[in-house]
């Protein structure tokens, strides 16, 4: 495999649509209040993708070093696990990725807030720093939070609350109370993707000492938890739609929950972790579909 293909493999492109779902939803909400600055929108997308790629490199490194990625792991082989990169090479890739993230954050803040609003720029610079910290510390280090069952909390915060409300704030410099509902919805769907990953890997995670929520509560309880995540997500986005209803097009995003609930039915009936791997793509792409439909309906029909 060529060097470029190896880096693309390590970047795990299939995870990127999910990462930008919050930006799409936040931008859609912002369109209710202002005209969208597409330069800010584009930079927000690139910044979020940058964070996700950094996280993927770091997860590859952390799980590889700890031995979590081994022959018993279900799913695509990781770069360090399969020998595509050495530890030194992958660590260098993480550092370069962080540098790119920092440059993207600075550019985003400059075009969103200008040079006069120093307080907001500093606030979001801290938020950007925390996002990079979260991307790195999920699996790296002796106190990696992903190994202590805290991954769900961080995914909910950064994919949901920060992704949706943060991108919304970039455009309108405030956060309407009702915007919390779609932020909750995206956050819970993103946690659902992580939970599905943990359901799939429950055996190898337990053996390697990665104490995810599923490892702590068990496979069957993990499926019940999955049900709660997806159902509450549906209720949250439905409440927002009801409170802000202006046009029937706003209901289109709810169509994405048809494949989501079909997926949920499969998960609830399934008894083998190995069979859950294809479901990851289904849930992630369905979440992205919901975000795209939400974005389109609010920007082009209202």
Query: Which pLDDT value is given to residue 8?
Result: 86
Q: Any idea where the domains of the chain sit in the sequence?
A: 21-300
This prediction has a pTM of 0.94
Q: Which helix (H) or strand (E) holds 232?
A: helix 219-243
Lowest pLDDT segment from 25-34, 64-73, 134-143, 214-223: 64-73
Residue 187 has pLDDT above 90, yes or no: yes
So what's the pLDDT on residue 13? 87
The answer to whether residue 27 scores a pLDDT higher than 80 is: yes
The confidence score (pLDDT) of residue 194 equals: 96
> Among residues 192, 230, 219, 212, which one has the least CA distance to residue 274?
219
Mean pLDDT, rounded, of the chain = 92
Q: Give percent of the chain above pLDDT 70.
A: 95
Least confident piece of the model among 50-59, 141-150, 253-262: 141-150
**What's residue 64's pLDDT?**
77
Which 3 state secondary structure label does DSSP give 86? coil
**pLDDT at residue 255, rounded to an integer:** 97
Residue 115 reports pLDDT greater than 80: yes
Instruction: Map residue 55 onto helix, strand or coil.
Output: helix
Q: What is the DSSP string of 186-222?
A: HHHHHHHHHHHHHHHTHHHHHHHT---HHHHH-HHHH
Give the pLDDT confidence score for residue 139 in this predicted structure. Answer: 87
C-alpha distances in Å from residue 283, one per residue of 64, 117, 251, 258, 286: 25, 39, 19, 11, 5
| Residue partners of 287: CB distance under 8 A and separation at least 6 | 18, 21, 186, 189, 190, 192, 193, 256, 260
């Amino acid at each position: 495999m060529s060097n470029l293909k190896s880096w693309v493999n390590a970047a795990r492109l299939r995870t990127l649509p999910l990462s930008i779902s919050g930006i799409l939803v936040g931008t859609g909400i912002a369109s209710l209040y202002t005209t969208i600055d597409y330069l800010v929108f584009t930079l927000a997308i690139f910044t979020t993708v940058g964070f996700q790629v950094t996280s993927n490199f770091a997860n590859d490194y952390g799980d590889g070093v700890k031995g979590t990625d081994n022959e018993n792991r279900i799913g695509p082989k990781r770069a360090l696990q399969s020998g595509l990169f050495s530890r030194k090479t992958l660590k260098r890739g993480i550092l370069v990725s962080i540098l790119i993230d920092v440059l993207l954050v600075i550019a985003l803040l400059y075009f969103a807030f200008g040079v006069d609003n120093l307080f907001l720029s500093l606030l979001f610079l801290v938020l950007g720093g925390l996002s990079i910290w979260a991307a790195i510390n999920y699996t790296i280090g002796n106190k990696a939070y992903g190994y202590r069952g805290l991954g769900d909390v961080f995914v909910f915060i950064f994919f949901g609350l920060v992704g949706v409300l943060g991108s919304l704030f970039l455009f309108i410099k405030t956060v309407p109370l009702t915007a919390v509902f779609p932020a909750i919805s995206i956050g819970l769907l993103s946690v659902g993707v992580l939970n599905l990953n943990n359901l799939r890997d429950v055996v190898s995670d337990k053996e390697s000492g990665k104490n995810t929520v599923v490892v702590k509560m068990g496979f069957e309880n993990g499926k019940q938890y999955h049900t709660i995540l997806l159902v509450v997500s549906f209720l949250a986005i439905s409440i927002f739609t009801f409170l802000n209803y202006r046009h029937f097009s706003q209901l289109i995003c709810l169509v994405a929950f048809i494949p989501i609930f079909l997926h949920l039915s499969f998960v609830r009936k399934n008894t083998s972790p190995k069979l859950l791997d294809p479901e990851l793509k289904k849930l992630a792409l369905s979440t992205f579909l919901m975000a795209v439909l939400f974005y389109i309906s609010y920007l082009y029909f209202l």
